[in-house]
Amino acid sequence: MRRNRKQKMIRNTTVLLTIALLTIGLAVAQQNSSPAAKPASADSKIRRTADGHPDLSGLWTFAISIPPGGIQKTIAGQKSVVAIDRSARYLQAELPGALPWTKEPSYKPELRAKVAELAANESKVDSVFYCGRPGVPRIGSPRRIVQLPNEFIFFYEEISGDVFRFIPLNGKHHADFNPSYYGDAVAHWQGDTLVVDTTNFVDNNWFGEEGYFHSDAMHVTERLWRVGDALAYQVTVDDPKVLTAPWTNYVHLIQPSTEPMQESPACKEEDGNRLLNLDHHVQR
């Protein structure tokens, strides 16, 4: 009787010890295979924040369409011309992480004549010629990015007024927000790519030149990621009311900038009557 009890106690102890060892081994294996224990990217050259995500913060060059030459300033009677880095506006092919793109959006057949008419009369009907706000995505990539653990802040320099966007991470869209030119934006990480999802737009501006108007159903997806020291920026526009399919523009490669941001003066429309051409060329 005592022998049976002793043998049973030995078996129970052995079983418990085996379970404990298996549990410890499983925990160690899980820890070693956890994504947090591995680099978030094979590219070890990318600067990262404490949570392991790429650090997108900093000053960046302009990536919008800028006319040739420079900006002439007159201060105390002295004129000077400031050159602008225009490299980011040109096509950047074969960038790692870029999505396939098309040259222009595909409008529904019944709306293509309207697009052509708007493009042919851009300097008269495009609101940005008259202090109108370009909105997203026409404003381009941010000039400055502030990256916080749970939020991004994008800053822009724009003639219609200084613009900034607060973009929460892993947030939800607000059903009760009023529509605006810059919409309601939330962001999340897809690997090393920041994806900014924006909805709830007004419909009285364009998302691009050449008459690219949109409806209140427009949905914009911006993707930002690091390519070495540079910043890659690519936009997809979806608007089922006017487009036959979502449109993805080519990726822009944005270089770091040493030019500090400056406060934009108040926009005063005084040049509308001086525009010579109906289209936009060489008139900005």
Q: How far is CA 274 from CA 71, 130, 209, in A?
A: 19, 12, 20
> Where is 153: in which H helix or E strand?
strand 151-156
pLDDT of residue 83: 65
**Residue 105 above 70 pLDDT?**
yes
DSSP secondary structure, 54-89, as one string: B---EEB---S---SSEEEEEETTEEEEEE---GGG
Q: What is the pLDDT of residue 81?
A: 73
Tens of pLDDT, residues 236-245: 999 999 999 9
Backbone φ and ψ of 145, nearest 5°: -120, 130
A 10 A CB-CB count for 247 gives 21
Which two tokens mark 248? Answer: 């993805």
**What is the chain's mean pLDDT, rounded?**
80
Q: pTM for this structure? A: 0.76
Residue of 172, 148, 179, 144 lying closest to 158 (CA atoms): 144
pLDDT over 50 (residue 132): yes
pLDDT average, residue stretch 270-277: 67
Give the pLDDT score at 73. Answer: 64
On whether the CB atoms of residues 189 and 211 are closer than 8 A, the answer is no
Judge contact between 235 and 249, C-beta under 8 A: yes
Lowest mean pLDDT among 136-140, 177-181, 255-259: 255-259
What does the pLDDT read at residue 42? 47
The DSSP call for residue 210 is T
Burial of residue 282 (CB within 10 Å: 0-12, 13-18, 19+) is: exposed
pLDDT tens digits, one per residue of 196-213: 999 999 999 999 989 999
Cα 80 to its chain centre, rounded Å, is: 33
Please check the confidence at residue 112 and state whether its pLDDT lies above 80. Answer: yes
DSSP conformational letter for 149: T
pLDDT category at 113 given cuts 50, 70, 90 is: very high
**Is it the case that residue 159 has pLDDT exceeding 50?**
yes
pLDDT in tens, 15-41: 444 434 433 343 334 333 333 323 334
Which of 88-92, 95-99, 103-107 is the most confident on average? 103-107
Residues 241 and 207: their CA atoms lie apart, in Å, by: 14
Q: Report the distance separating Cα 79 and Cα 119, nearest Å.
A: 34
Q: How close are the terminal C-alpha atoms of the chain, in Å? A: 101
Element (H, E) at 27: helix 2-33
Q: What share of the chain in percent tops pLDDT 90?
A: 54
